[in-house]
Amino acid sequence: MDPFDDPRLTAMGLLVEVATGLTVKAHQSFTAVGLSDVDFETLIRLARSPRQRLRMSDLAAQTSLSTSGITRVVDRLEREGLVMREACSTDRRASYAVLTEAGAERLKAVMPQHLNDIETYFTGLLTPQQLSDFLDALRIIRDVVRPCATVGVERASSEQCEGEKVS
C-alpha cells in the first residue's frame, strides 16, 4: 500500500543520517580552531599525502569538490598561511598545494578533540568485531562508488623534488 517504506530506502536514510550527524559533531570541533569542514578535509588530505602535497585537480578529485571550489579554498588557506602553492617542475600548467608547518600545527590542534569525537560517537559504540565488520562493509561499497579515491598519491611520491636526488 505505501510504496515509500521500502527497506532499501530506510537503509539509505540511516546511512546518510549517521554520516551527517557525525559531520555535525566534527564541525563544532573544527570551528573551535577556526576551520570550516572543507578546510579540514583539504588539510588532512594534504597531511596524509606523500610529501604533504597534492595537485589542485587531485585534491578536487579526492574531496569531491569542484576544481573551482578547490581554487578558492586553497586561496583562503594560503592567505591564512596554512598551505602554500608550489609550481610543478614538469608541467607548467599544474601547481601543487603544500601543507605548511602552520597548517600541520593547526591540524594537530584539532586532532585530539576530533579523535575523541569519533571515539565517542562512532568507533567506541561498537565492539571490535562489529567495528571490523562495519569497516569491511564500508570498504566494499567504497570500492564501487568511488573507484578513484586515491588519485595523485603515486604521482606526488614518485616525482622528484627539484634539486632533490637529481638523477
Which one of DNA, a second copy, none interacts with residue 34, CB within 5 to 8 A by kind?
none
Task: Provide the terminal-to-terminal Cα distance of the chain, rounded to the nearest Å.
Answer: 71
Contact map string, positions 10 to 29, toward a second copy, x by CB under 8 A: -xxxxxxxxxxxxxxxx---
Q: Does 111 bind a second copy (CB under 8 A)?
A: yes
Q: Does 50 bind DNA (CB under 7 A)?
A: no
Output 64 or 157, the one with its CB closest to DNA. 64
Q: Does 105 bind a second copy (CB under 8 A)?
A: no
Task: Give the integer Cα–Cα distance in Å for 63 and 84.
Answer: 18
Q: And the C-alpha cell for 37?
A: 569542514
CB of 121 within 8 A of CB of 24? no
Whole-number Cα distances in Å, 86 to 55, 83, 94, 97, 157 = 9, 10, 9, 6, 15
List contacts with a second copy (CB under 8 A).
3-6, 8-9, 11-26, 44, 47-48, 64, 107-108, 111, 114-115, 118-119, 121-123, 125-126, 130-131, 133-142, 144-146, 149
